[in-house]
Amino acid sequence: MAHTEKKNFLFDLTASQPNESGAYHGGGKYAKKIYFEFIENFDTSRWAIWALFDSSKPLDAEISEKSKTAAVTLIDVANRNLPEVVNELSIHRFYSALPLGTISYGFNSLMNSACEIYGTIHGLRTLETKIPFDALRYETGMKGKAGLLARKFLEKKLYNRDLERYGSLLKNTNVLAVSNHTKYSILSHFPAVREVPRVFYSPDVTEFENRDEDDSKGFALSGYFLLISGNRWLKNNLRSAVALDQLFSEQPALRHQVVVTGVSQPEIFLSRIKNKDRFIFYKYVSEGFLQTLYKNAFAFLYMTLNEGFGYPPLEAMKAGTPVITSPFTSIMEICGDSVLYSDPYSIAEIKNRILQITDPDSHRNFTIAGKNRYEKIKERQDKDLKEMVTYLLA
């Protein structure tokens, strides 16, 4: 039998580490899930595996432990650049779950090398969604408002920058997309793309959700409307809060409360609502507490303006909580007909959908439909995870 030379693979774990989106972010959980499946299935007779990390940032303890068990050598990129590592280790193939996040490590130079590069694009948010002027409502300080206005003023310049970055990535990388929406958004923005991106649904990461410390002790509330990522204008929670507040004034029989997470400045909401005592704000909740909030909620409102995949509605449906959401970007692909959709810019329509979900039959039907949809998507996620790892190691 002919001897096959072992090849060297470098997996990017910097994608799993904290970034500007926070310590725990969707891209990080995605990278962690892919990595675990990857190290459990690679052929040691064909591949030698290294993993890239940045020692200036925390690395997930479970990732460190599993890397040790799988005999994967961790390579610190804190004080060196990516092309140096690739050349030194004679890397044949490199994968990143967030390839543009490695630009500061010299990723652009790597794209001109002989190394095969694979990377996931989760969405083209900066190309798809403009910053609305009402995003200023989510800022209270002059510094925050000035920063947002500067980004709005430079929006065309930033658009062109990202257009160039994604264009270069598509020319030099084997691109994977997390949804059909992302795939066709790429083809729409880059009609001359040579390689059509392969679609592998984002994997189910809910297995990680309850491993974090659960700070929900003493929380006994149930039957509330849940909103998450309250500080982010992209999640559009102010309109949902105003819609609920108006209904509380107009419909005395509607006695629910509202829980909003990710709110560091409650005055952003309190200055726009009358029924202040019906709203509960949390600056931060652990992943464990978030799962408790999903499970105990009456309904989940998610008027997002842009998603590459759509983890939050799936998490709510898994917990048996009906969802009201926007039909934008990937949401309809993931949620199908198992949720109530609303124009995220119309407070009147959001109110309409809230009243619909308070009907007992409607609530029951969307609860059942949501659970069934979660199972259907999970089946696709599990299949695609295995196929993606096979593809990376082919």
Is residue 210's pLDDT more than 60?
Answer: no
Dihedral-angle region of residue 217 (phi above 0 means left; psi in -120 to 50 means alpha; beta otherwise) = beta
pLDDT at 270: 96
For domain 225-379, the CATH architecture is: 3-Layer(aba) Sandwich (3.40)
| Residue from 177, 184, 174 nearest 200 by CA | 177
**Banded model confidence at residue 21, pLDDT cuts 50, 70, 90:** confident
174-177, strands of its sheet edge to edge = 73-76, 47-53, 7-12, 93-96, 116-121, 174-177, 198-199
Q: Collapsing DSSP states into helix, strand and coil, what is residue 302?
A: strand
CA distances (Å), origin 141, targets 136, 192, 350:
10, 43, 29
Q: Rounded distance, CA 17 to CA 77, Å?
A: 13
Which residues, listed in sequence order, are joined to residue 264 by a DSSP beta bridge?
A: none
Which pLDDT band holds residue 207 (cuts at 50, 70, 90)?
confident
Please state, in angstroms and rounded to a whole number, the distance separating the CA atoms of residues 347 and 237.
11
Assign 5 a pLDDT band (cuts: 50, 70, 90): confident
List pLDDT tens digits, range 118-136. Answer: 999 999 999 999 999 999 9
Look at residue 340 in the predicted model and tell me its pLDDT: 98
* Domain layout of the chain by residue ranges: 7-204+381-392, 225-379
Q: What is the pLDDT of residues 225-244, one digit of tens each?
A: 999 999 999 999 999 999 99
- Find out whether 15 and 96 touch, Cβ atoms under 8 Å: yes
Mean pLDDT of 367-381: 97
Residue 25's pLDDT is 80
Mean pLDDT across 52-59: 95
Q: What is the pLDDT of residue 186?
A: 96
* Residue 1, pLDDT score: 43
Q: What pLDDT score does 140 carry?
A: 83
Higher per-residue pLDDT: 25 or 318: 318
pLDDT at 375 over 60: yes
Q: Which position has the higher pLDDT, 391 or 19?
A: 391
Q: For the chain, how long is the longest CA-to-CA vector?
A: 79
Question: Rounded to whole angstroms, how far apart are CA atoms 327 and 321?
Answer: 18
Amino acid at 84: E
Q: To which H or E segment does residue 32 belong? A: helix 26-41
Name the average pLDDT for the chain.
93
Tell me, what's the pLDDT at 24?
A: 73
> CA-CA distance, 23 to 19, in Å (whole number)?
7
Domains 7-204+381-392 and 225-379 share a fold: yes
At 22 the pLDDT is: 73
Q: Report residue 186 as tokens.
A: 């790429």
Given a cut of 90, whether residue 144 has pLDDT beyond it is: no
58 confidence band (pLDDT: 50, 70, 90): very high
- Residues of the chain above pLDDT 90, percent: 82
Q: What is the mean pLDDT of residues 54-81?
A: 94
pLDDT score recorded for residue 287? 84
Report yes or no: 322 and 340 within 8 Å, Cβ to Cβ.
yes
**Cα 250 to Cα 335: distance, rounded to the nearest angstrom:** 30
Residue 216 pLDDT > 70: no
Q: If we measure between CA atoms, which residue out of 125, 200, 204 comes closest to residue 373?
A: 204
379: which 2 tokens?
Answer: 């089946």
User: Is-above-0.85 flag for pTM?
Assistant: yes
| pLDDT tens, position by position, 22-48 | 777 888 999 999 999 999 998 888 999
Of 98-112, 251-265, 320-334, where does mean pLDDT reach its minimum?
98-112
So what CATH class is 7-204+381-392?
alpha beta
pLDDT of 219 reads 82
Query: Over the stretch 158-181, which tens digit does the pLDDT of each residue have?
Result: 999 999 999 999 999 999 999 999
